[in-house]
Amino acid sequence: MRNNVLILDFGSQYTQLIARRVRELNVYCEIHPYNKLPHNLDSFGALILSGSPYSVREVKSPRINLDVLLTKMPVLAVCYGAQLIAQEMGGKVSASNIREYGRANLNIKEQDNILFDGVGNNTQVWMSHSDTIKQLPKNSLLLASSNDVENVAYRYEENIYCLQFHPEVYHSTEGKKILENFLTKISGLKQTWTPDSFIDSTISELKEQIGDDKVILGLSGGVDSSVAAILLHKAIGKNLHCIFVNNGLLRKNEFTDVLDQYKEMELNIVGVDYSNEFYNELKDVSDPEKKRKIIGRVFIESFDKESNKIENVKWLAQGTIYPDVIESISATGGPSATIKSHHNVGGLPDFMKLKVIEPLKLLFKDEVRRVGNSLHIDKNILGRHPFPGPGLAIRILGDVNKENVRMLQEVDYIFIKGLKEANLYNKIWQAGAMLLPVKSVGVMGDERTYEKCVALRAVESTDGMTADWVDLPYSFLQDISNKIINRVKGVNRVVYDISSKPPATIEWE
């Protein structure tokens, strides 16, 4: 049970990245806010203290009881964590005279130190702090310096390792090796957290938790709900009842194609078409937030109507993943404390008194895909780009109606099909088309036209938090533009969005 890592979050932008690096090393870890310690501390075999936007010199900066934590397990303290230990244990932290941000090179003092075993001297690391550790606490050993910073890495007592740099970011070229040394050689943890081990343990836990009860799951066609469905199917078979709602806002042919894929996977699934209900409610609504709320409400109503046809249901399954869980227990508040509505369910009415089960709540997105691959789920599902919960409604700027949906479906189909044929689809994180609420003058043959404009969007990203536009070949864009204008009635102009996130967002609404 002690083969787990506890990561205490002090509000750093890199905390989830620490967890991802630990998971990549096949060691299970959990993130908890610094002020909400887990009750089962003794089940963890190692502790990592994150960085923070705060300064340890601030009166209201995050604090924890180090006297208790530092005696329980090996510790790796990163940036703010390293400064916190230095200050609380009798060292000295002060404002830095120079800007300690960006690349630096390590001068490793103790060549035989376990933490830097196999790490080359002068290796590149990434700094990001405005304070510096002027004096180490007693019982400390200096492990590494840089050209500008003396106390870059040190050991306090026996098993407490402190780093002023961030080993979790890509710019720290041997950061992953440093983390592995801490996890395996210092903490003695086993690298057994794999997709197969997760599948085996999860199916066993689902069987025990659910027993002979019935479960309903709203499938969306996306990666998360699909992987959750297969895990549940393997655990409880036909007692899983899947509902796939067509809101009329999916991509061209997506409802029938995805439904057929699910049936081939032998899922117990029913597909229901509520397109007209969604269109009726969205009539003459152009405000993006109102669109989202209407779509969420109508989905709940249609999902509830269909689920009531299944007798004696006890559980509602959802494709919640770990970033959603982390946000819901955020210690720092702010934007990360606000959770968007789930793609597939969006909110459970009070009168649906079902217990909720979330098989993927411990996994990051990339881990969900690896688990799906181990489950032999169709690669067309696993490799599918993220698609917004409200569907094409938030890619149609202005009124949502059948004609606008038809037009955008055709444009999107040509764009996505073209990306796949040009072997570009898998190099892109997300792509789609936007139908703009403007018309422009064009010429077709000898006639002038006054028709719609569409914007194409393709971005590269790892998690959607930040994104950059993809530099698609001009020849490809030229070909796609010609096909769209020639084949989609009502469109006479195509533009390509070259905005990054931030300041823009990936979707236009």
Q: Which sequence positions are flagged as catalytic?
A: 79, 166, 168
Q: Which residue is listed with tokens 């090796």?
A: 177
Q: Which two tokens stand for residue 320?
A: 């919640």
C-alpha Rg value of the chain to the nearest Å: 26
Which tokens hold the place of 50? 């994150």
Q: How far is CA 258 from CA 65, 149, 261, 383, in A?
A: 52, 56, 5, 13
CA neighbor of 179 nearest in space, from 192, 158, 165, 193 = 165
Taking the C-alpha atoms of residue 108 and residue 85, their distance in angstroms, rounded to an integer, is: 21
Helix (H) or strand (E) holding 31: strand 28-33
Determine phi and psi for 216, rounding to 5 degrees. -110, 145
Query: Is the distance from CB of 344 to CB of 306 less than 8 angstroms?
Result: no
Task: Please give the Cα distance from 101 to 509 (Å, whole number).
Answer: 35
Of 450, 497, 496, 505, which Cα lies nearest the Cα of 477? 496
DSSP, collapsed to helix, strand or coil, labels residue 508 as coil
Q: Name the pairing type of β-strands 313-317 and 355-357.
A: parallel
Give the three-class secondary structure for 23.
helix
Provide DSSP, 263-319.
HHTT--EEEEE-HHHHHHHHTT---HHHHHHHHHHHHHHHHHHHHTTSTTEEEEE--
Strand pairing report for 468-469 and 447-460: antiparallel
Torsion (CA) 325, 331, 332, 336 in degrees, nearest 10: 10
Q: Residue 157: which region, alpha, beta or left (left: phi > 0; alpha: psi -120 to 50)?
A: left
Look at the block and give the residue holding tokens 């590149």: 124
Q: In this structure, are residues 410 and 488 in contact, taking their beta carbons and an 8 Å threshold?
A: yes
Residues in a beta bridge with 458: 431
Q: What distance in Å separates the CA atoms of residue 174 and residue 126, rounded to the nearest whole number?
A: 11
**Tokens 């440093």 sit at which residue?**
178
Q: Is 98 exposed, middle or buried (0-12, 13-18, 19+ CB in 10 A)?
A: exposed
CA trace torsion 437, 290, 330, 469 (10° rounding)? -10
